[in-house]
Structure formats: C-alpha cells, structure tokens
Amino acid sequence: MVTAVPQDQWRLLDVQAHDTRLGQIAHRRRTLPEHAELERLAERARATADELVAARTRAADVGRELAKAESDVEQVRSRASRNKARLDAGQGAAKDLQAIQHELDSLQTRQSILEDVELEVMERAETAAARIAEIEAAQAALTAEQDALVARRDNSLAALDAEAAVETMARAGAVAGLPADLLALYERVREHNAGVGAARLYQRRCDGCRLELTATELGRLRNAAPDEVLRCEECGRILVRTPDSGL
C-alpha cells in the first residue's frame, strides 16, 4: 500500500493539471488544421505532377508527328523544285518534259495535302504547349500555397512547443520532492486511464469518472488514514481528498 502525507497527495492534483494541459497541447499539435490542408495540397501536387508528365508525353508525341510532317513537306518541295528547274531548262524530249510537268502537278497536289496535315499538327503542338504552360503555372501556384501553409504550420508548432516548454518546467516544479512510490503509482495509473492518474474527490463524486460513490465506498474512504493513498473503485484513479470531498 502506498502512503503519502495529504499535502503530497494534494500536489498530485497540480501535477495532473500540468499533465492535462500538456496532453491538450499535444492533441492540438497533432490536429492542427494545417496538417490536413497540407495533405490535401500534397494530393493535388501529385495529381498535377502526373498531369504534367502526361501533357509532356503528348507534346513529345505531337513533336515527332510535326517533325515527320515537316520532313514530308520538305521532300515534296525539294522534288518539285528540281522538276521545275528541269522543266524551265527545257532540256529533253517533249515526252519527257510532259511527264515532268505531270509529276510536277501531282507534287503540287501532294504538297497541298501535306501542308494541311502539317498545319493541323502544328495547331495540336501549340495546344499541347499551352497545356504544359497551364499546368506548370498551376504547379507554381500550388507550390507557393504549400510554402505559405508550411510556414503557418511551423509558426503554430513553435508556439505550441513554447507553451509545452512552460508547462513542462511548471510540472517539474510540481513533481519536485514528491515520494517516488507515489509518483510511480500516479504514472502507472495515468498510463492506463486516458492520461488521468489522479482525481479530486469532490462532493462524494470522483472527478475522474464523474460517478458518485456509494455509501459503502464513502464509509471506507471516511475511515481510511489521512496518509493512505486511495483509489476510485470504479475507474482506479488515485482519489485525492479535499475539504470539499463530502466525507
């Protein structure tokens, strides 16, 4: 059985108050709204990165199409230029010159078709480039939003850490000089009771579980020695008797 003078038992309530505030600070630290918002932005950033990869892939594919279309047009233009030069020179038999003219007419038709294809591919290339620029702008805006949010989160965390440091120092002062066995019991009970190891007995009610004690239990507590460390029959927390306990 653990025993402690009433004054040390009362001091447990101060220790518990500091631990409760430290627990609240830790909870606020874990549940800062910036955490959820940063995760949401991270998902958007991953989706945007995937979009950018897809857009660049499409642009690369269209770029290869455009290079082929330009090459095809250039080949026809070169052949037509050579034929026109031969025709203008007027060298060769009339039959040969007639064949050259026929091929030149066919090349002009072919060139017109290929230039239309080239124009259509160029339009798609411009659209693909515009889409890449649009995604990159969105990505830059998203990065700026993330940076601002990280700064805000870090400021909030720093403020909470400073608050926790003050509470930790105050707790150390409250703990100083308490009997080791009393403190060890408190820590064990607190670990298994949602962070609350000691509770005040107030007007016949345990402040830990909020239940009113039975007459039998009150009689037991009333007859206990002042230095006996009592436990709540319902929740197991250390019960600290005060002038308002109602015993």
pLDDT digits (tens, 9 = 90+) for 98-110: 887 888 888 899 9
Q: What would the pLDDT profile of 3-18 be if each residue is shown by its tens digit?
A: 999 999 999 999 999 9
CA geometry: angle 76, 79, 85, nearest 5 deg: 135
* Alpha carbons 148 and 31: distance in angstroms, whole number: 18
pTM: 0.75
**81 and 52 in one domain?**
yes
Provide the pairing of β-strand 230-231 with 198-202: unpaired
Last residue of a domain, one of 125, 158, 191: 158
- In terms of Cβ atoms closer than 10 Å to its own Cβ (0-12, 13-18, 19+), residue 237 is buried
**132 and 200 in one domain?**
no
**60 and 139 in one domain?**
yes
pLDDT above 90 (res 130): yes
Give me the residue label for tokens 């591919």.
Answer: 121
Q: Examine residue 171 and state whether it is found in any structural domain, yes or no.
A: no
Q: What is the pLDDT of residue 94?
A: 75
pLDDT above 90 (res 201): yes
Q: Examine residue 163 and state whether it is found in any structural domain, yes or no.
A: no
- State the chain's maximal CA–CA distance in angstroms: 136
Q: What is the pLDDT of residue 19?
A: 97
**63 and 22 in one domain?**
no
